[in-house]
Amino acid sequence: MTKSVDVAEIDSLSFEDSYLRLEQVIAKLEGGELSLDESVALFEEGMRLAQHCGQKLDDAELKVSQLLSAVADHEAGQEDLFREG
């Protein structure tokens, strides 16, 4: 039987570890040697892993966007200082 990762474990995984596990799940599902119950359990785990990876990417995108916005605001403030001075 295939050991699946529970929700709490998935939540604690980094993006890289989640993606690696997702690749393993996909390979096992594509192998076609699992019982129906094992396939369903792995599919459910794969869906949770994909959702977790998507959330991690969304979080990273938001952080990058906020950092770029902060840099742009800072640069705009610097330009205003040069115009006034």
Where residue 61 sits, what CATH number does that domain have?
A: 1.10.287
Q: Is residue 1 part of a domain?
A: no
Q: Is residue 2 part of a domain?
A: no
Q: Is residue 53 part of a domain?
A: yes
Q: What's the average pLDDT block by block, 10 residues per block, for the chain (85 residues)?
A: 77 96 97 96 97 98 95 79 62
Q: Is residue 32 part of a domain?
A: yes
Q: Is residue 20 part of a domain?
A: yes
Contact 50, 63 (CB under 8 A): no
Number of domains the chain is built from: 1
Q: Which domain holds residue 42?
A: 7-84
pTM exceeds 0.85 for this model? no
pLDDT at site 2: 55
- What's the chain's length in residues? 85
pLDDT in tens, 30-46: 999 999 999 999 999 99
**CA-wise closest residue to 51 among 40, 43, 63, 41:** 43
